[in-house]
Structure 1
Amino acid sequence: MTNKTPTETQSDVMDPARAAAFQVALGQAASIAHGSPLPPFFHQLYFWSPQPPSGLGRDGHPKVGGTGLIPDMGLPRRMWAGGRLQFQSPLMAGVEAERRSMLESASSKTGRTGPLGFVTLKHEIWQKGTLRLTEWQDLVYREDPVPDATKPTPPKARVDETDSREISFDSTLLFRYSALTFNGHRIHYDLDYARDVEGYAGLVVHGPLLAQHLMLLATEVMGALAEFSFRASSPLMHFETALFCRNGQDLWVRGPDGRQCMQAVAIPRSE
C-alpha cells in the first residue's frame, strides 16, 4: 500500500481592499481595485487558515502534526528559510482563486547548531481555470537556543549594487503585516517571547516581507517577473534599517552592520 501525499485545497476571493490596505502599509498609494492585477507575492495576504486557540502551538502558529500538511518533527522553532516562485500570469483582484497545496518533502538532519527539520510545501494558485502561480515554500524547524551559546557568524553582503532602496521597519509595520497575512507567529509582535524564548535581539521582520520588498524592487527596475527565488541567511530586527540591493538578476538585503539577511534571484519575462 503506497502512502498518499498530503494535499489541501482552499478557495478565496482576492479582496482588493486587503491588497490596497497592504499598499498603504508599505507607504504606497492605494491603487488596487476590482480587476487590477496583483503585484507579485501579494497572494500572501489570502488563503487564511484560522485555527481555534486549542489548535495553536506555543509560538502562535497552527500546531504541526495535526490536520495540516506539516508533520511534527519534534522541534519547536519555525523559520521561513526561503522559496521559489513561477509567475505564469498575474492574479486579479476581486476574483475567486483556488490554492492547491501539497507536502513535497520533509526530512531531518543534524547541523552545527543541533537537530534541524526541513519542510518544503508546493502551492499552485488557479484562477478562472488557469494556473497563475506556482510556489515552493521552504521551512526550517530547530531546537530552542542554548543560553550563552556562540551564534553563527552571518555572511557579509555584497556591496556592488547598481540599484538600492533603504527601508526601515518598526513594530507597527510588523503588526500590520501579521494581521493582513493572518500570521500569528509571536516572534513578529511579542517582544518578550521573541527575546526570552527564541533568543532574538528584538522582533523579527518577516522573511516574506523582506522578499516582498525585493520583488517590488525587481519589478520596478526589471519589469514583470517570470521567476523569483530567495533564501534567508540572517534575521533582521524591527529596529534596524536595511538596504535592498540589485545587480543584474541578483538581489539581496544588507543589514546595517553589513551582514547579508537575504539573497535572491529574479528572472524577468522575456516578452
Structure 2
Amino acid sequence: MKPVHPATETCTDVMDPARARAFQIALGHPADIAEGGPLPPFFHQLYFWTPHAPEHLGRDGHPKVGGLIPDLGLPRRMWAGGRIGFAHPLRAGVPAERRTVVEKAEHKHGRSGPLGFVTLRHEIRQAGSVCLTEWQDLVYRQDPDPDAARPTPPVAPTDETESRELSFSSTLLFRYSALTFNGHRIHYDLDYARGVEGYEGLVVHGPLLAQHLMLMAEELVGPLAQFAFRAESPLMHFETATLCRHGTDLWVRGPDGRGVMTANAVPQL
C-alpha cells in the first residue's frame, strides 16, 4: 500500500466539569471535580466529540472510514492500545483544543489474515501549551470465520503485589459509551456483538480498562509522566476481571487466567 499523506483534524471543547463528575459517579467514585480543577488521567476521553450524521456511520456505529482514517478495506475495528505523555494537568472548565494527525496507516498479514494498522497522534492544548500527547493504535480485521479456531490468548502473570477485582455491568458499558460518544455496537448491542463480530457477549471497552489501570497507577505510584497499554484479549461484560500491579507494570487478568491488557506507568520525577 502506498504511504498515506498525513491527515489532520482539529476540534475544541469547553471541558465541562459536569461530564467528568458524571463519569466519576458511573465509576462509583465521589463527584468532586470542580471548575478549574485538574482532571484525572485519561478523562480527556470524555471530550472532543465528533458527531456524524446517521448516513455517515458504518455498520458498527463508528463513523465510516475514508475521512480522517483511510479505508483499508477491513470492516472490524479494535482499539489495540496506546501511550500517553502527560506534560501538564488538563483542567475542567478551561477551553481546550485537540489536534489529531494520522501518523501511520498500513496493511500487514497475520496468522488470522489481513490486518490494517492505524496510529493516530493527538495533541491537546490549554492556554496555548501542550498538556497531553497521545498515540492511539487501531487495528482493522476481516469478519470472523465461524469455522476457524479461536486464537489462544496469553497467560497473565500471577506475581502481582496488589490486585483488585472489578466487574462491568451492561449499564456501565452503556454509560461509558454515552459519555465518550462511542457508537461502537459491540459495547451495547448484544445481537450485533455475537452475530456479526463473533464475540460471546458485550465487549468491555479497552479504554475503560486502561482508565481503571491509570487510576490504580496514579493511586499507587503517584502522578504520571507517561502511561502505555496494550490489549491482549477481549473481556466480556459477564466476566470479572482482576486488576494487578507489580512495581510500574500493571495488567488485567481474565477469570480464566488469560491476559486481557498489559500496561506500564512512568511516574513523574
Whole-angstrom CA distance in 1 between matches of 2:132 and 2:45: 12
Q: Separation in 1 of the partners of 2:93 and 2:50?
A: 19
Aligned length: 267
1:164, CA displacement in angstroms?
Answer: 1.1
Identity over the aligned pairs, expressed in percent? 73
Tell me which residue corresponds to 1:245. Answer: 244
Gaps of 5+ in 1: none
Residue of structure 2 equivalent to 1:106: 105
1:12 aligns to 2:9 (yes or no) = no
Alignment of 1:43-58 (within 5 A): 43-58=44-59
* Number of the residue aligned with 1:72: 71
User: Are residues 4 and 156 of structure 1, via their aligned partners in 2, closer, same or farther at CA, if it must alter by over 3 Å?
Assistant: closer
Report Cα offsets for 1:157-214 as digits up to 9, x if no partner. Answer: 0000011121110100000000000000000000000000000000000000000000
1:38 is matched with which residue? 39
Equivalent residue for 2:22?
Answer: 21
User: Quick one: distance in 1 between partners of 2:6 and 2:178?
Assistant: 31
Measure the CA separation in 2 of the matches of 1:27 and 1:52.
33
Q: In the aligned structure 2, how far is the partner of 1:70 from the partner of 1:5? A: 10
Structure 2 Cα separation of the partners of residues 3 and 145 of structure 1:
27
TM-score after normalising by structure 2: 0.98
**What is the rounded CA distance, in whole Å, between the counterparts of 1:226 and 1:34 in structure 2?**
23
2:88/2:132 contact within 8 Å kept = yes
2:4–2:104 Cα contact (<8 Å) kept: no
Q: Which amino acid aligns with 1:54?
A: E
SS at match of 1:141: strand
Matches for 1:212-251 after TM superposition, within 5 Å:
212-251=211-250
Question: How far apart are the structure 1 equivalents of 2:146 and 2:133?
Answer: 40
The residue that corresponds to 1:141 in the other structure is 140
In 1, the alpha carbon distance for the partners of 2:241 and 2:219 equals 18
Structure 1 residue 149 displacement after superposition: 1.2
User: Aligned partners of 1:130 and 1:59: how far apart in 2?
Assistant: 36
In the aligned structure 1, how far is the partner of 2:220 from the partner of 2:91?
Answer: 22
Q: 1:4 to 1:111 in 2, by over 3 A?
A: closer
Structure 1: distance between partners of 2:69 and 2:127? 28
The CA deviation at 1:148 is: 2.5
Q: Which residue of 2 aligns with 1:94?
A: 93
Unaligned runs of 5+ in 2: none
TM-score, structure 1 normalization: 0.97
1: CA distance between counterparts of 2:260 and 2:112?
18
In structure 2, the partner of 1:84 is 83
1:70-100 CA-to-partner distances (Å, cap 9, x unmatched) read 0000000000000000000100000000001
Q: Which amino acid aligns with 2:58?
A: G
Residue identity in the other structure for 2:234? P
Q: RMSD of the alignment, in Å?
A: 1.0
Shift of 1:5: 1.9
Runs of 4+ in 1 over 4 A off after TM superposition: none
User: Which letter maps to 2:65?
Assistant: V
| Cα contact 2:224–2:265 (8 A) shared by 1 | yes
